[in-house]
Amino acid sequence: MSDDRKIIFGGDYFPEQWPEEIWEEDLHLMKQANVNMVSLGIFAWALLQPDEDTFTFGWLDKVMDLLADNGIDVCLGTSTAAQPNWLTQKYDDILFMRETGERPACGSRQTYCINSPSYRKAVRRLAKEMALHYKGHRALKLWHINNEYANKNSMCFCKNCEKNFQKWLKKKYKTLANLNECWGTVFWSEKYSNWKEINTPRASAGGRNATKLLDYKRFLSESFFTLYKEEYDVIRTITPDIPVTTNFEGDWSKFDHFLFRDNLDVASLNFYPNPSDLNSYKWAALRHSMMRSLLGKPFMVMEQAPSQVDWYPVNIAKHPGLMRLWSYQALAHGSDSVMFFQWRASKKGAEKYHSGMVPHYGENSRVFKEISALGNELKKVKDIADSKVNSEVAILLDNDSWWSVDSPYGRGTKSLDNEVFWSANGQPFPTVLVSYFGELEYYFNAFHDLNVPVDVIGIDYDLSKYKIVVAPLLHMIKPGLKEAVQDFVKKGGIFITTYFSGVIDEFVGVFLDGYLGPLKDVLGVKVEEYNPLPPGGKNRMLMTENAEGFRKDYGCSIWCDVAHPITAKTLAAFTDGYYSGAPSLTENKFGDGKAYYVATRPDRDFMRDFLSKILSEQNIKVSPLPEEVELVVRSRNGEDYNFYLNHGETEKHVKLPEGKYEDLLTGAVYENILHLAKYGVYILRTKERKS
């Protein structure tokens, strides 16, 4: 990135889609809108390498020079997300294979197999040629590898993947005897006597081996990373001073994003909340928090829509002010950029109905006028660049638990009357109503409603910097996790986990003698059995003592664990069912800290009261504000930037802390009450504090 402090503003630019006379108009409009960076070459492989022995950079050289002459930086894509047709036709291992044995037709993006030797060789060569050619170019400020890994090709079942999977398993398990033991292949007579017998886990007659499925997902996840790493190593060797990124999507279920963190200079996000969903701002807040937490520093919004997208059933436009609001929300949560897909709306191609910064109507359109106004307004807030969102609360995200609860292959077909039809793709599970990420999102939103910032981290991250760590549906307990949690709580931390946690080990084997397994000591409780509730089913949580800030009882749903306290104190108990009186919430003192176990899905009002109490005890500020008003604080060197965002359709009123506050956007000074207009954005810093 540039050395000067600024908010990066721009988008994906595809000059190759337009005649050269349009390029000069583009540059004029970019300067008018204060664009300072564009992404180039994202899908240009066929133009950069028209055949195996020819590279043609002339057109791209001209664009790079034009941008540099106009003071616009370039995030240069390696073009490897869409291989040219000649490459696909020449090498029969390029295309990925679906579970049915079919391969996609060429001519689209992400049709490649991530383990294709031919594809990987071609990728390394293209990356090398581009890095050598553009090394030292004055416009080049950032490398952009591939594009949206796993968007279309997250699963492949070809022979190359099968052979590499066998090698991966041999390295992991050493012997077939060990693999058979860890996979439990004695069940259904699945025992393997030769490594070559192990195929990719395609559809079978019934439920498939859960450990094999998980290991295959782990293998593919690592394959995405090693594919990225091959390009990364080539580029960093040739241009060591240019940072490297790849743009991730909001869906992290397709591969383990935490694998990338030590080989990623800048984390980048493509985010596309649905304008027709009133809670889209919460959806976006979680994705921004995930991306911010990945590297623990400001990230980039690489893509968002200027107005509508083209893949929802109904693609409504972003109404006036919404694009600006969501752009500032990204900045509030830690982005140092506002970028879009795409600069100019396409005339042809599969995404011609996706909005652009310059719509089909041109520069006199509402959208371009809003884009231009935003780009110029961002000059006023450049001081927030490099500042951070400081979180004292973390939520653990574990892909293995996610994949074990929400099988990437599906759970089969389950109707609402609980009749179960096992499909060949499915994995049996106690209830279709439980979702790993849904539970994580539920807890994140509970903190978000209190305007408490939350980091979303991997299970091997350092926990010591946080006061509260929450692990929703921590289904799998891998080696080292028990010790990390115990050490965190012993030293004064607060740990919270939920129902159906601590059930399986890293090989998907169930812990015996009570669920919660290795977590039993720190939680002081073990679980005998579970009772998923039917659709619409409810229970209640009766508080066992009159605790300040709590009601007498609360509703709960989805699931009820039947637990037995060991050393834990029961704070609330179920009122209904054969397990009436069993704890629904426990607290266990462990060292200098406490561990809480929530045996159900409590209603929102309980979550508010429960989390408010714990946050207060930990001296973490809670800022309850009117519904749909969001407060996020970025800080640097003792200076706070308070983002007040009104996601509602009506004006809202907020009581400010004592003092006077200046709005970075307007220079207006506020005291006592802040009136937030519809879609209003206010970035306040302290002007004068009352003594």
Catalytic residues: 148, 303
Name the phi and psi angles at 228, rounded to 5: -60, -45
Nearest to 16 by CA among 44, 37, 38: 44
The count of other CB atoms within 10 Å of the CB of residue 481 is 20
Helix (H), strand (E) at residue 224: helix 210-238
Q: CB atoms < 10 A from the CB of 286, how many?
A: 20
Of the candidates 629, 632, 625, 631, the one whose C-alpha atom is nearest the C-alpha of residue 677 is: 629
Q: 420 is written with which tokens? A: 């179960």
234, HSE (Cβ side, Cα atoms, 13 Å): 22
Q: Say if residues 428 and 422 touch (Cβ distance below 8 Å).
A: yes
Q: Yes or no: say if 254 and 154 are a contact pair by the CB < 8 Å rule.
A: yes
Do β-strands 538-543 and 553-565 pair in parallel, antiparallel, or remain unpaired? Answer: antiparallel
Phi-psi label, residue 581: left if phi above 0, alpha if psi -120 to 50, beta otherwise: left
**Beta strand residue intervals within 422-577, DSSP E:** 454-457, 468-471, 494-498, 525-532, 538-543, 553-565, 569-574
Q: Return the DSSP state at 95.
A: B
Cα–Cα nearest to 502, from 527, 525, 477, 484: 477
**Would you give the end-to-end CA distance of the chain in angstroms?**
41
* Cα-based distances in Å from 87 to 50, 118, 119, 203, 577: 9, 9, 8, 30, 63
Cα distance between residue 463 and residue 453, in whole Å: 16
Q: Which phi-psi region, left, alpha or beta, contains residue 561 (left: φ > 0; alpha: ψ -120 to 50)?
A: beta
Quickly count: other Cβ atoms within 10 Å of residue 591's Cβ.
Answer: 15
